[in-house]
Structure 1
């Protein structure tokens, strides 16, 4: 019996043979085109960004000599898949630091694959957990494979993150000092201190990362993704992205619509930068949902939803003037308590009891150590005082993609629009000065259409904390071929979160291409 070629490839991968993918012939340099967005929003200069000459002599890990002077030298690379982490396959490849100047400098991209195991071979399914900057390689390890055994599931760490060439900033002690800053200033001296702290952190990133910060946008990351597709030898790829991963997917759909097989976007980010939807609204709703549960279950924090909210907000506000003893010699500050609280809201109602117990303990004992440890997890701080890649890739990629109106506008938004849209966390988050004082200019903002893309599936929880449900409605309206499936549940991330209804829809779509009817809702889990 003559097996189809794709089945032979899948079997070779499954038994661990190296070089199991075919390698495409390198096209002539003149035939390689970098797509650009068809429509963009008008670009306006960011008034207060600290943009100066790049630190050219700094080379973060993974900087390498360019393989040649043109793009064809990158597409002619040969992947070397090796066994890693028991049953997985790992590989790295080079990509241009600056796609417009490929011969000047290369950086390294790392990826991990769970090879297809059974059933008809479905091709590569790239997955991304969000962030921006979350490790896609780590995501592969926990990504559910039930029903998806025919896919090679691949996690590619985006440029600036994970084991790819990473953004590097200051020391652990310097980052501690930055995160210990009062992010909700009460007077001019505290405002000045916040500005100075943000400037110091941003400059630490520039000094340690150099020119990488000028080439870390999602558009550039998507060029890397399509290079990976070519090196694997796949005509098309499938993609599953969560949170910021939905932005990665949307950009891929904008630049390479005909290279998509299937695409699932879970927990949509906001594709319209000027819309009246902000992240803090999702966290406000999450706090109120918890407070309602708490009051109904005699949690000890109040007898009504509003009483519970008032108790928690008063506790957090009190840490502004009187931080609690924390882990070791550190203190639990207002901003750290907010970070710890936010982490719980990513997981929805399953963790309400644990959160209730932690808040009661912290408030009554005056011991902030446990809540601070939760904040450390949210901030990607390790037990030895160092920080993981996400702590630095998150602001770098965010500010490469987001425009801003400057420092004063950030203060005005905090006291005005943000606090009106989200009266709790809109205030507690403070003014976001990271991007207004960043040391690199943002990339152009795409006016998304998704033109020519195949059917795209968007899935979203109604009670999503980090990406409010309205984002999914906006994304579905922006991407012409998108269909939205709604799950009635709290928490961030709809797939593999307890809904058999939604999980079946996702798998059926990825495997069979079945697009659910408009308005489909899942109420289980």
Structure 2
């Protein structure tokens, strides 16, 4: 199970809701593949970030200026390796029309790419923000074909406007508009702050898959099979889900990669009149930013990439290892606060108590109303709390304690939040479908054999949660082939500030170090803390480094530790 990277602001809100219910004692795998690109690209042999100091866009001398939203695969280094041998090809790229998704429309008047470059965003009031929509090509290589819709939200600058800051919360497939609703725009008073729902997500043209019942069945699959019959059920379930997504989303699945999104973002930058892109991306949002910087290095302005995914070919530290490390930190806290967390008076006892509970769940899931808390969903629920670091330790301890006593509603609700299911209505958010659609276009895989081998390695490297997180098969049988696998170095880009959290569960700290090293102009800033997102959870030192750069162009010292 590779856990989705949901926006930390939504996780924090959800944790607060769960906390109140836990403390009151009342309540009225994930399976998508990770966008970490482990084994995807080759690291630079050496790198040195720019020195601290002031940076202005005038300091960059572009060697070339590619056309807006262009992409020439031959202009970028690529890697060879994984071949995705078991992907389903029926219906993929047939050009047989677009089935299902809302927001498919006719392209603007004109012809070729110019019909989009001459567009305007019509902004309308929506509460305290301005909301807008824009048509972009379904297929950027066929600008005269069908168009899809992007929806966005803007918080106008409150000071002297000097530009636009684009933000993205990650996912992949999480809503940028939702992020803006909780984003501290006052930190960037001289910027319009714009958040958009990337293609396939939120209110933009969405990826659709099966019915609610079919999606429930998919997320209820046992991702840690014990015998061949369980493996057969897991593979059949993933094949069926992939087919449901193709049937409901059609050709959209072939044009949902981060390369497509970077092209969308370059159009947005152009249409708001910004010669350079100022950008703050969290988690998978760092992959959007890094991809943009590789494709359009001369148009990178002040870019901050927080809680970086893996853009290198070093897979020695994987996501499940990050969750294991984070759970060990929780276990130590729990042992030291045994009055609040009665799972054991030593970290080893807390770990043993939890793993024994998860082992029992394999054959004895807990009944929660009309549903079951399975072993896989219980593991996802635990992961949910780890995203928020120490803020959620008390609530995680309570949720596990209740589950051990037979009350599984709290872990199930946490799993629902992380998977994209509304715990009350049972409706699935678009992110549940956009996540695999984007992730499986972004990364190649090694088929079923590779997934089984990877799970065996995960169990050895992450013995706490690796066994129950299970094998990730969603990309194995996906119906779209992987997009170009670029080697990302962003040569010629302005300084790119990369934030890393030493106790990050979802994007382990090592990945931030690797990204900062591989990017030609990478600058690493480290927050010694726990949880996912230094910007959302970090201290004043982190905030000063980010605001100083975006607002004033002050590049933090490479290697700064907060």
Give the match for residue 307 of structure 2.
Answer: 267
Change (3 A) 1:44 1:489: closer
After TM superposition, the structure 1 = structure 2 runs for residues 470-489 of structure 1, keeping only pairs within 5 Å, are 470-489=510-529
How far has the Cα of 1:182 moved from its partner? 1.0
Q: Normalised by the size of structure 1, how large is the TM-score?
A: 0.91
How far has the Cα of 1:135 moved from its partner? 0.4
Distance 1:424 1:126 in 2: 38
Write out per-residue CA displacement over residues 55-104 of structure 1, whole angstroms, 9 at most, x where no aligned residue: 635141010112243000111112110001x1201111111111111111
How far has the Cα of 1:30 moved from its partner? 9.3
Change (3 A) 1:514 1:35: farther
Does residue 34 (structure 1) correspond to residue 71 (structure 2)? The answer is yes
Give the match for residue 477 of structure 2.
Answer: 437
Distance 2:383 2:82 in 1: 32
Preserved CA contact (<8 Å) 2:154 2:195: yes
Give the match for residue 9 of structure 1.
Answer: none
Does residue 499 (structure 1) correspond to residue 536 (structure 2)? The answer is no
Write out per-residue CA displacement over residues 459-516 of structure 1, whole angstroms, 9 at most, x where no aligned residue: 1110001000000010011101111011110000001324011111110111111112
Distance 2:321 2:521 in 1: 27
Picking from 440, 448, 458, the partner of 1:399 is: 440
Give the match for residue 81 of structure 1.
Answer: 123
Distance 2:264 2:398 in 1: 45
Write out per-residue CA displacement over residues 287-320 of structure 1, whole angstroms, 9 at most, x where no aligned residue: 1000011111112211211111111111112111
Preserved CA contact (<8 Å) 1:171 1:386: no
> What SS class does the counterpart of residue 186 from structure 2 fall into?
coil
Name which of structure 1's ranges 33-42 and 215-224 shifts more when overlaid on structure 2.
33-42
After TM superposition, the structure 1 = structure 2 runs for residues 62-141 of structure 1, keeping only pairs within 5 Å, are 62-67=103-108, 68-84=110-126, 86-118=127-159, 120-141=160-181
Change (3 A) 1:31 1:460: closer
Name which of structure 1's ranges 431-440 and 368-377 shifts more when overlaid on structure 2.
368-377
Give the match for residue 346 of structure 2.
Answer: 304
How far has the Cα of 1:390 moved from its partner? 0.7
How far has the Cα of 1:140 moved from its partner? 1.1
Change (3 A) 1:395 1:33: closer
Does residue 251 (structure 1) correspond to residue 280 (structure 2)? The answer is no
After TM superposition, the structure 1 = structure 2 runs for residues 1-400 of structure 1, keeping only pairs within 5 Å, are 33-36=70-73, 37-42=75-80, 45-54=83-92, 56-67=97-108, 68-84=110-126, 86-118=127-159, 120-298=160-338, 299-326=341-368, 328-364=369-405, 366-382=406-422, 383-400=424-441
Preserved CA contact (<8 Å) 1:144 1:496: no
Does residue 454 (structure 1) correspond to residue 454 (structure 2)? The answer is no
Unpaired stretches in structure 2, ≥5 consecutive residues = 1-65
Change (3 A) 1:396 1:60: same
* RMSD over equivalenced CA pairs, Å: 1.6
Q: Normalised by the size of structure 2, how large is the TM-score?
A: 0.85
> What SS class does the counterpart of residue 214 from structure 1 fall into?
helix
How many residues were matched structurally? 489
Give the match for residue 15 of structure 1.
Answer: none
Distance 2:521 2:331 in 1: 38
Write out per-residue CA displacement over residues 97-132 of structure 1, whole angstroms, 9 at most, x where no aligned residue: 1111111111111111001011x3221100000000
Change (3 A) 1:425 1:362: closer
Preserved CA contact (<8 Å) 1:168 1:208: yes
Change (3 A) 1:50 1:363: same
Higher relative contact order, structure no. (Cα contacts within 8 Å, ≥ 6 residues apart): 2
Change (3 A) 1:274 1:199: farther
Picking from 528, 531, 551, the partner of 1:511 is: 551
Write out per-residue CA displacement over residues 126-165 of structure 1, whole angstroms, 9 at most, x where no aligned residue: 0000000110111112111233111100001111111111
> What SS class does the counterpart of residue 107 from structure 1 fall into?
strand
Distance 1:33 1:210 in 2: 24
Preserved CA contact (<8 Å) 1:462 1:489: yes
How far has the Cα of 1:32 moved from its partner? 7.6
Distance 1:221 1:491 in 2: 27
Distance 1:429 1:491 in 2: 19
Preserved CA contact (<8 Å) 1:496 1:503: no
Distance 2:556 2:280 in 1: 17
How far has the Cα of 1:35 moved from its partner? 4.3
Preserved CA contact (<8 Å) 1:132 1:245: yes
Change (3 A) 1:43 1:357: closer
> What SS class does the counterpart of residue 495 from structure 1 fall into?
helix
Distance 1:78 1:207 in 2: 33
Give the match for residue 59 of structure 2.
Answer: none
Name which of structure 1's ranges 213-222 and 253-262 shifts more when overlaid on structure 2.
253-262
Preserved CA contact (<8 Å) 1:295 1:301: yes
Distance 2:71 2:402 in 1: 56
Distance 2:244 2:89 in 1: 13
Distance 1:63 1:190 in 2: 39
How far has the Cα of 1:448 moved from its partner? 1.3
Preserved CA contact (<8 Å) 2:306 2:534: yes
